[in-house]
Amino acid sequence: MAFSYLFCLLPLTVLASDAISPASQNSVQPQAYATAYHEARQSNRPLVVVVGAKWCPACQRLEKEGVPGLQQAGIFKKAVLALVDYDEEPELAQKLTEGGPIPQLFVFHPTENGFQGQRMVGYPSRQAVINFVAAALKKEEGKRDTNKAQGAPAPTSPSNQQATFGR
């Protein structure tokens, strides 16, 4: 009898700890691309874009490990985050990745001629993602040993897509 009572309380304890944890209160929620693009443009902040898919293990790891690592490093105080699901928004994902493999991570900087950026292909590690984004935010485009990305495409219409590919 005591075992079943304890078993029933365990889920409530987990829910309560999630509700009051400082990390969950300060968590930045990823946005749909169109929303994030417009927010970045209006606030003149960089746009961090993750392109992935539900079926891609590396994409899942990037979303579950890399994005929280960026959050903990304070990146989203300086930048706006968007997640693009390759299956939900294939046209946008193709434009961004130029038909390349996923996951891909982009850091687009606002310029006079729109957004210009850098890309990382794959998910080497949480620390590699943090280092890439932090360096991309500090360095001028083209002075880093990363693949240059074309400019961030303007969204064709506001997206009502959910900004996740792993949940």
Q: Report the C-alpha gap between 34 and 74 in whole angstroms.
A: 23
- What is the reported pLDDT for 69? 95
For the chain, the structural domain boundaries read 28-149
Full DSSP string of 77-127: GTSEEEEEETTTSHHHHHHHHTT--S-EEEEEEEETTEEEEEEEES---HH
The pair of three-digit structure tokens given for residue 47, joined into one six-digit string: 């746009």
- What is the reported pLDDT for 163? 44
The helix, strand and coil proportions of the chain, stated in percent and rounded to the nearest 5, come to 45, 20, 35
- What is the reported pLDDT for 12? 38
- What is the reported pLDDT for 166? 46
- What is the reported pLDDT for 115? 87
- What is the reported pLDDT for 127? 96
Q: Report the C-alpha gap between 13 and 1 in whole angstroms.
A: 19
Q: Report the C-alpha gap between 167 and 161 in whole angstroms.
A: 13
Which CATH number is associated with domain 28-149? 3.40.30.10
- Cis before 22 (ω within 30): no
Q: Kindly list the averaged pLDDT for each block of 10 residues, start to end, along the chain of length 167.
A: 40 37 55 93 94 97 95 93 96 95 95 89 96 85 46 56 43
